Amino acid sequence: MIISLNSWISASRSLDLLGGRPTYPLKVVTMVWRIQGLINSSDLPPVVLEQKGLLEVMDQLKRLPSGLDSVLQKTVPWGVAFHHAGLTFEERDIIEGAFRQGQIRVLAATSTLSSGVNLPARRVIIRTPIFSGRLLDILTYKQMVGRAGRKGVDTVGESILVCKNSEKSKGIALLQGSLKPVRSCLRRQEGEEVTASMIRAILEIIVGGVAATSEDMQTYASCTFLAASMKEEKQGIQRNQDSVSLGAIEACVTWLLENEFIQITEDTDGREGKLYHPTHLGSATLSSSLSPIDTLDIFADLQRAMKGFVLENDLHIVYLVTPMFEDWTTIDWYRFFCLWEKLPTSMKRVAELVGVEEGFLARCVKGKVEARTERQHRQMAIHKRFFTSLVLLDLISEVPLKEISRKYGCNRGQIQSLQQSAAVYAGMITVFSNRLGWYNMELLLSQFQKRLTFGIQRELCDLIRVSLLNAQRARFLYASGFLTVADLAKADITEVETVLKNAMPFK
């Protein structure tokens, strides 16, 4: 606490990396209380905060559709804030900007901030070497401490690792540890027949026309980082060729053939050998950027849907564009069961078609479900995906984020992350359907990338093409009679100005 206070007084930026995101609000508020207590009870020099800048930050946060977070309302005036995945994208952008400009002096964050967000600081404080019940790995630790004293930003920097007596040896190991060698993602793990990365790589060179024969594939394999790293390990060139070019490639080609991603034709040039060509499924997989292994489930899912679509509402289509691989949140099964009981018959019909069972939900509420077998894992995944699709359905129905958060027991940042990944996935599935020649399916899915991106109903898809409009403004314009971009272009400027003024709450 004294260390954070030192940063606060000296107007230098401190990145305070804490463990356990659910307790963040309490920890940050406690930090502010202690700062207030230390100032009132000691002979510390007077501290001048950038009040004008902090008021501007508060004003920006208030103007967001989600409103001002109750914890940030208490901490930002003191130059203290927090940063984690529970914040909306807009809140994160504002807080990151304020931290870079020095208005926020102490920023509490999770270990995930160490990668992906460039927030240099003079001092990095790591509160524990244990995050989420596991010891930090060397790479994450190096990324954390690398934030301190960034060249061109600060002249000095320091990092502090706080350990309990029982964690001291682990802390020393982190300080003295070195990074592990880079490992190729194409390398097979022990007991693994083929890797998803190698399958993808082989499919890419076949679809791209780079390789058509076994010899071409062996040449490609000999140029990979995997081949180079195996040579570096002094396993010998011949052994390298046997293990990489023959074993792994042969297994991947067999898998691709069995699952109809590629096909074989005879060489017409008179040379002996076989030529490998992509099927429509292989080309569609590559064009849509899907994983070949995930494609099998997606393909089967879409085929089932085409035989029995429920079009009474958007739920069935939304379920199809809900990412299969999105492990979104920990589900409150009792909440899910209560929502299930309130669903209309048309939505329950969709649920039954995709494999949701009321009996399974009841067992989950009682805690009597264990996902051990492959069938149990699949059943669990279907129910989680359906729950996620209900969230997305509310999003594209223009239900406010706060209401969705309260209804499904998740935070706004999670909802926005889901919205972003679902919009990307919807685009991928649309391209996949197009490349397979499933044009009716493509027509049904094509509107949902835009709707998920902006959280809008179908009638706003045209208006939202105007880059300065968001869902709220587009809805006000539509309600005022501006139904399309063409209507907006022909409108009188004063009319549009009046509508947009009414769309924003008075500040």
CA–CA distances in Å: residue 289 to residues 65, 165, 452: 33, 48, 19
Burial of 9 by CB count in 10 Å (0-12 exposed, 13-18 middle, 19+ buried)? middle
What are the tens digits of pLDDT across the range 372-389?
788 888 889 999 999 999
Final residue belonging to a domain, choices 455, 472, 487? 455
Place of tokens 């000999």: 222
Residues 96 and 158 placed together within one structural domain of the fold: yes
Which CATH number does the domain housing residue 334 bear? 1.10.3380.30
Reported for 185-191, long-range contacts at CB under 8 A and 24+ positions apart, including other chains, are 186/224, 186/225, 186/226, 186/248, 187/226, 187/229, 188/248
What pLDDT shows up at residue 85?
77
What pLDDT shows up at residue 222?
86
Residues 172 and 55 placed together within one structural domain of the fold: yes
Residues 261 and 334 placed together within one structural domain of the fold: no
Final residue belonging to a domain, choices 227, 260, 278? 278
Which CATH number does the domain housing residue 162 bear? 3.40.50.300
- Say which residue, 55 or 246, is predicted with more confidence: 55
What pLDDT shows up at residue 371?
73
User: Rounded to whole angstroms, how far apart are CA atoms 451 and 438?
Assistant: 21
What pLDDT shows up at residue 288?
95
User: Rounded to whole angstroms, how far apart are CA atoms 105 and 291?
Assistant: 43
Does 22 score more than 60 pLDDT?
no
Burial of 136 by CB count in 10 Å (0-12 exposed, 13-18 middle, 19+ buried)? buried
**Of the ranges 120-129, 268-277, 369-378, 431-440, which is most confident?**
431-440
Region 170-199 average pLDDT: 82
Which CATH number does the domain housing residue 253 bear? 1.10.10.10
Question: How much is the mean pLDDT over the chain?
Answer: 84
Examine residue 481 and state whether it is found in any structural domain, yes or no.
Answer: yes
Query: Which of the residue ranges 65-69, 216-220, 250-254 would you say has the lowest mean pLDDT?
Result: 65-69
What are the tens digits of pLDDT across the range 94-104?
998 998 888 88
What pLDDT shows up at residue 240?
47
Residues 82 and 162 placed together within one structural domain of the fold: yes
What pLDDT shows up at residue 9?
47
Examine residue 487 and state whether it is found in any structural domain, yes or no.
Answer: yes
Give the amino acid at 317: I
Does 78 score more than 50 pLDDT?
yes
Residues 6+ apart with CB under 8 A from 376: 369, 370
Examine residue 370 and state whether it is found in any structural domain, yes or no.
Answer: yes
Residues 252 and 209 placed together within one structural domain of the fold: yes
Place of tokens 């967000």: 117
What pLDDT shows up at residue 115?
63
- List the structure tokens of 381: 């995944």
Which strands sit side by side in the sheet containing 158-161, from one edge to the other?
80-83, 106-109, 14-17, 123-126, 158-161
Give the amino acid at 57: V
Q: What is the model's pTM?
A: 0.84
Buried-exposed string 290-329: b where 16+ CB fall within 10 A, e elsewhere: bbbeebbebbebbeebeeebbeeebbbbbbbbbbeeeebb
User: Rounded to whole angstroms, how far apart are CA atoms 362 and 337?
Assistant: 7
- List the structure tokens of 372: 């051990």
- Say which residue, 451 or 246, is predicted with more confidence: 451
SS3 480: coil
Residues 100 and 167 placed together within one structural domain of the fold: yes
How many independent structural domains does the chain possess? 4
Residues 52 and 169 placed together within one structural domain of the fold: yes
pLDDT category at 181 given cuts 50, 70, 90 is confident
Examine residue 215 and state whether it is found in any structural domain, yes or no.
Answer: yes
What are the tens digits of pLDDT across the range 279-315?
999 999 999 999 999 999 999 999 999 988 899 999 9
Residues 343 and 387 placed together within one structural domain of the fold: yes
Residues 432 and 472 placed together within one structural domain of the fold: no
Residues 161 and 210 placed together within one structural domain of the fold: no
Going by C-alpha positions, the residue among 71, 78, 67, 1 that lies closest to residue 34 is 1
Examine residue 161 and state whether it is found in any structural domain, yes or no.
Answer: yes
Q: What percent of the chain has pLDDT over 70?
A: 83
Residues 58 and 143 placed together within one structural domain of the fold: yes
Give the DSSP H/E element, type plus range, for residue 175. Answer: helix 168-176
Examine residue 213 and state whether it is found in any structural domain, yes or no.
Answer: yes
Find residue 277's DSSP bridge partners. Answer: 263
Examine residue 248 and state whether it is found in any structural domain, yes or no.
Answer: yes
Examine residue 268 and state whether it is found in any structural domain, yes or no.
Answer: yes
Residues 347 and 473 placed together within one structural domain of the fold: no
Which range of residues forms the domain containing residue 96? 2-9+45-176
What are the tens digits of pLDDT across the range 457-478?
999 999 999 988 889 889 999 9
What pLDDT shows up at residue 237?
44
Final residue belonging to a domain, choices 176, 205, 221? 176
Which is it for strands 134-135 and 130-131: parallel, antiparallel or unpaired? antiparallel
- 3-class secondary structure per residue, 334-399: HHHHHHHHHCCHHHHHHHHHHCCCHHHHHHHHCCCCCCCCHHHHHHHHHHHHHHHHHHHHHHHCCC
